[in-house]
A = this chain, B = another copy of it.
Amino acid sequence: MLKYKKPLILITNDDGVHAKGINALIEGVRSLGEIVVIAPDRIRSGMSSAITASNPIRLNQIHKEKDLTVYSCTGTPVDCVKLGINEILDRKPDLLLSGINHGSNAAICVIYSGTVGAALEGCILKIPSVGISLTNHSPDADFTQAVKYGKLIAEKILAGELPEGVCINLNIPDISNVKGLKICTQTKGYWAKEFQTAKDPSGQTVYWLTGSFLNEELGNEQSDEWALSQGYAALVPLQPDMTAYSVLGKIKNWELSV
């Protein structure tokens, strides 16, 4: 008789292994399977899909109990996923969860987000993957609703409902009565007025990245920003293929004219 194995769930984030969001997520999904956490040892927000190319990476097991093992890692969120799948786990995980991020990763933030970067990496390595974010940056935000929706999506994916080749970007509004879930597109837009300048103690100018999001699709009821603004959790399926297929035909004549 084959030994029954619980689903194996790999969890990471970009706010660091000690953040409230990842620990709320761990507690929320523990009943679903065996949990292995490999997360950055410090804040790694805005790390996108960065990898540690020129330095060695270290892993440190910081907690172990039945069905829960936690590692702290000096690498990026993507490094954590790669280490888990290549070096630490004894079998392919059934699910990768990244988050719960302190702060929105809707719209163009998918490009900069380490939370989403880790989910994309899981997808590239053939693991059903979800990035989960709450639209509240506070270290002590209330993750109750985000955990609820994250767990619902995790259950769907463990039931085999995620199409191949895509991962999920899930954002939850910071309200106590989330209205439900909308399947959305990535809102078009960009960040504007991005820097605050300041002087360091020696009088040199330094630049702090800040700014505000400029939504170019206000009122588009398909977009994730619209869903969040209306009190819904917003789910966008993402793919790692960034080819702009719609313009391939238009620029094909460049082949002949170089």
Contacts and interface: CB of A to CB of B under 8 A. Distances in A.
A50 B48 contact: yes
Q: What is the total number of copies of this protein in its complex?
A: 2
A62 interface: no
Contacts of A255: 180-183
A49 B48 contact: yes
A226 to B, nearest CB: 14
A24 interface: no
Contacts of A32: none
A241 B206 contact: no
A220 interface: no
A208 interface: yes
Contacts of A188: 241
A164 to B, nearest CB: 9
Contact of A124 (B54, B57, B108): B108
Contacts of A237: 243-244, 247-248, 251
Contacts of A238: 242-244
Nearest to A57: B207
A185 interface: yes
A158 interface: no
A4 interface: no
B83 A252 contact: no
Contact of A183 (B82, B149, B248): B248
Given A254-B181, A255-B182, A47 B46 contact: no
A1 interface: no
Interface stretch (A5-13, A93-101, A192-200): A192-200
Interface in A33-80: 43, 45-54, 56-59, 75, 78-79
A166 interface: yes
A49 B49 contact: yes
Given A87-B207, A126-B190, 13 more contacts: A46-B50, A46-B54, A47-B50, A51-B112, A53-B209, A59-B205, A108-B240, A152-B258, A166-B247, A183-B251, A183-B252, A237-B243, A237-B247
Please list the 3 inter-chain residue pairs (A to B) with the smallest Cβ-Cβ separation, ordered nearest first: A56-B206, A46-B53, A48-B48
